[in-house]
């Protein structure tokens, strides 16, 4: 799937989000820059498992996406499920915005992450499944590669 197709799905997801938030900007970054930003934010995330993240800037919230990573993570999925996957990762970031927590240390960051995941499971059970499926597929691949 290309960036333009992804953008349509992302904008629809933001438009249909029922909770009150200030509309975020959406931006795509090349993998190298995306990785650099993750480092700058000291996000404890594994690059290949993080397709997007949200950041508060002076001008408002920005959700950064990486086309490469989205495609890699959703590689074996049908077109419909790919769409669901992009909706799911977007909804997760929108919940972070809705919660409005600005974590200042690791403990707060973990809390913020757990809260968003809990809400996500509760509000979006169907989308929750697709994230779980992608996670399991990738763990399986990793396991295979480690065994060989
Ligand atoms: Zn999160």
Q: How far is the CA of 109 from the centre of ligand 1 (A)?
A: 9
Q: How far is the CA of 2 from the centre of ligand 1 (A)?
A: 23
Burial letters 2-35, b for 16+ CB under 10 A, else e: eeeebeebbeebbeebeeeeeebebebbeeeebb
Per-residue pLDDT band for 102 (boundaries 50, 70, 90) equals confident
Q: How far is the CA of 141 from the centre of ligand 1 (A)?
A: 23
Q: How far is the CA of 148 from the centre of ligand 1 (A)?
A: 32
What is the residue whose two structure tokens read 């190298």? 32
Question: For residue 45, what pLDDT is reported?
Answer: 62
Q: How far is the CA of 96 from the centre of ligand 1 (A)?
A: 7
**From CA 65, how far away is CA 105, in angstroms rounded?**
24
3-state SS assignment for residue 23:
coil
In tens, the pLDDT along 113-127 reads 999 999 999 999 999
Question: For residue 46, what pLDDT is reported?
Answer: 63
Complete edge-to-edge strand list for the sheet that includes strand 60-65: 25-28, 60-65, 52-57
The predicted model scores a pTM of 0.91
Q: How far is the CA of 95 from the centre of ligand 1 (A)?
A: 8
Return the DSSP state at 116.
Answer: H
CATH number for the segment(s) 3-138: 3.40.390
Q: How far is the CA of 77 from the centre of ligand 1 (A)?
A: 22
Q: How far is the CA of 116 from the centre of ligand 1 (A)?
A: 6
The larger pLDDT score, comparing residue 29 to residue 47, is at 29
**From CA 127, how far away is CA 116, in angstroms rounded?**
13
Q: List the domain boundaries for the chain.
A: 3-138
Which residues in the chain belong to E strands, given as ranges? Answer: 25-28, 52-57, 60-65
Range 79-95 average pLDDT: 96
Per-residue pLDDT band for 16 (boundaries 50, 70, 90) equals very high
């Amino acid at each position: 799937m290309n960036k333009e197709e992804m953008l349509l799905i992302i904008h629809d997801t933001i438009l249909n989000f029922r909770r009150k938030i200030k509309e975020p900007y959406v931006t795509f970054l090349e993998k190298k820059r995306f990785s650099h930003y993750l480092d700058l934010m000291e996000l404890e995330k594994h690059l290949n498992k993080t397709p997007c993240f949200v950041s508060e800037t002076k001008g408002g919230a920005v959700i950064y996406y990486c086309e490469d990573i989205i495609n890699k993570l959703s590689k074996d999925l049908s077109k419909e499920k790919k769409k669901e996957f992009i909706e799911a990762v977007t909804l997760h970031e929108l919940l972070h915005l809705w919660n409005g927590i600005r974590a200042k240390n690791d403990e707060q960051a973990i809390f913020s992450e757990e809260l968003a995941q809990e809400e996500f499971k509760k509000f979006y059970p169907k989308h929750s499944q697709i994230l779980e499926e992608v996670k399991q597929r990738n763990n399986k691949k990793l396991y295979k590669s480690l065994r060989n």
